[in-house]
Amino acid sequence: MAGELSVTGLVGNFDINSVLQQIQAIKSQQILLLQQKQQTISAKKSAVSDIQNILKNIQNTVNNITDPNIAYAKSIALSNPNVATVSITDPTQVQTGTYSLTVNQLAQNDVYATSTAVSDKNDPLGLSSGTLTIRIKGVDYNVVYDNTFSLQALADEINRTAQTYNGDFRASVVNVGTQSNPQYKLVISGTKTGQENALTISDSGNLISTLGLDHIKTAQDAQINYEGLTINSSTNTFTNIPGLSITVNQTGNTTITVNKDSKPITDALNSIINGYNNLVNTLNKETGKDGRLSGEYSLNIIKSGLYRQLEPLLTNGVIKYDRTNGNISLNTTKLQDMITNNPNDLQDILTQVKDNVYNYLKDYTQTSGVIDTKLKSYDKQINSIQSMIDQINKRIQTEIQTLKNQFIYMQNLQAQYNDISARIQATFGLQTNK
């Protein structure tokens, strides 16, 4: 109308935030596509990493199958297990069969005790000054005492001397009476068993003549009769029988039966078989229609290559192949036959398989190998896509900020216009027609 100056609709109730969000959403479609591509590559990387871990587990397992404790494993059975504990230290050194064992005596340490007891272990004994000498393995350990020493002080000084000079003996004060009527004696013991660790004790003062000293236990070696041979040991453990460790617990007789043990090699082969089957099933799943590596059938060369490395076991019938699912299984009957009748042939086969599999898998498990290179390639692609996403994000944020600034500029113009319009109306009294 004539004289109308109002243009308040310049910006009006325009929802700029909603518009900016829609613009950002449209421009971010490219980012969503890149993120989807990034997720696909990450999934591929995860699947390939899983396959590599399976291969590493197979490699670690096959590396142990020639361990003598697995390939030549044997078990022990005792007719009287109370007499001794027997373990195999080297299965290649002990033959299967039954062996006789008689334990004649157990190893002992030397023990001395004073003959006379005292009622207070902390009261001075009133001894004349002197030196108690403890000899072991030709070495003298001198314990100096005087008239201020109590029974406990003597024990403490003996222990201090042993600790200072690394002596294989110790002292203690033992109550042989009751709590209400204590009777204390000094006990001096060797800390090691065996005849060579016997103690001799002498005294330059009057300690022994005053308290007395009884030899209550004599150091001795353990002694066994093994298959007619008499063998001594300073401890209760005998390690000089090839392939065996025998710890005697009490005197008496027992037989030791050594049998071949198929469990360790069975478990080891089953671990390899399970690893191979896991590889086959994983590759079939991941390279299949809905797998993370769908269409990447080139990876299947790994399972065919690994199968070839296991051929010595397959050729000799130790492992069976299932054509319906591509899995393998253990022929326990054939394995037991070889363990019993052809252990050396079995060992040769296991050695060959170990070398074949370990060397074949190295290219897939080692740093900078085939799979490691593939994983690094995935990382490079993921990082490259992330850089593109970051750049696009930065560009979108810049564009959005520019639009915000332009809107703010428009709001400022409208505010200025409204202010001018209001002042004109106030000055000239213009009215809006009704």
Please check whether residues 6 and 82 belong to one and the same domain.
no
Q: Do 394 and 36 meet the contact criterion of CB atoms below 8 Å apart?
A: no
Q: Which of 159, 182, 217 is the last residue of a domain?
A: 217
Q: Which of 127-131, 150-154, 261-265 shows the lowest mean pLDDT across its residues?
A: 261-265
Q: Are residues 268 and 350 in the same domain?
A: yes
CATH number at residue 211: 2.60.40
CA–CA separation, 412 vs 416, rounded Å? 6
Contact, 149 vs 182, CB < 8 A? no
Q: Which residues neighbour 312 within 8 Å (Cβ) at sequence distance 6 or greater?
A: 349, 352, 353, 356
Burial class for 8, CB neighbours closer than 10 Å (0-12, 13-18, 19+): exposed
Alpha-carbon distances of 266 from 62, 64, 309, 340, rounded to whole Å: 12, 12, 19, 13
- 280-317 pLDDT tens trace: 999 999 998 889 998 888 888 999 999 999 999 999 99
The SS3 of residue 204 is coil
Would the pLDDT of 110 be above 50?
A: yes
For the residues of 6-43, what is the DSSP string, one character each?
--GGGTTT--HHHHHHHHHHHHTHHHHHHHHHHHHHHH
CA distance 171 to 199: 13
Is residue 118 located within the same domain as residue 193? Answer: yes
For the chain, what percent of residues have pLDDT higher than 90? 73
Tell me: pLDDT of 1 over 60: no
**Tens-place pLDDT, residues 333-382:** 999 999 888 888 998 999 999 999 999 999 999 988 899 999 999 999 99
Rounded CA-CA distance 252/83 in Å is 6
Both 387 and 250 in one domain: the answer is no
Looking at the structure, tell me whether residues 65 and 12 fall in a common domain. Answer: yes
**What span, in angstroms and rounded, lies between the C-alpha atoms of 161 and 158?**
5
How many domains are contained in the chain?
Answer: 3
pLDDT in tens, 166-182: 999 999 999 999 999 99
Shared-domain flag, residues 126 and 81: no
Do 383 and 347 sit in the same domain of this protein? yes
Q: Kindly give the pairing relationship between strand 111-113 and strand 252-260.
A: unpaired
Model confidence at 66, pLDDT cuts 50, 70, 90, reads: confident
CB contact set of 255 (below 8 Å; sequence gap of 6+): 78, 79, 80, 98, 99, 100, 101
Give the pTM: 0.70
98 and 213 share one domain: no
Q: What pLDDT score was predicted for residue 14?
A: 60
Give the E-state strand segments of 289-405 in sequence order: 319-321, 328-330
pLDDT tens per residue across span 121-134: 999 999 999 999 99
Written as one string, the DSSP assignment of 57-112 is HHHHHHTTTT-HHHHT-EEEEES-TTTEEEEES-TTTS-SEEEEEEEEE--B--EE
DSSP label of 185: E
Residue ranges making up the domain that contains 87: 74-107+222-260
Instruction: Give the residue from 192, 217, 242 where a domain finishes.
Output: 217
Average pLDDT over residues 221-225: 98
Are residue 370 and residue 321 in the same domain, yes or no? yes
**297 and 380 belong to one structural domain:** yes
Residues 6+ apart with CB under 8 A from 25: none
Confidence of residue 90 (pLDDT cuts 50, 70, 90): very high
- Asked if residue 23 and residue 168 are part of one domain, the reply reads no
Question: Are 5 and 78 in a shared domain?
Answer: no
Of the three residues 163, 189, 217, the one that is the final residue of a domain is 217
Residue 44: pLDDT band by 50, 70, 90 thresholds? Answer: very high
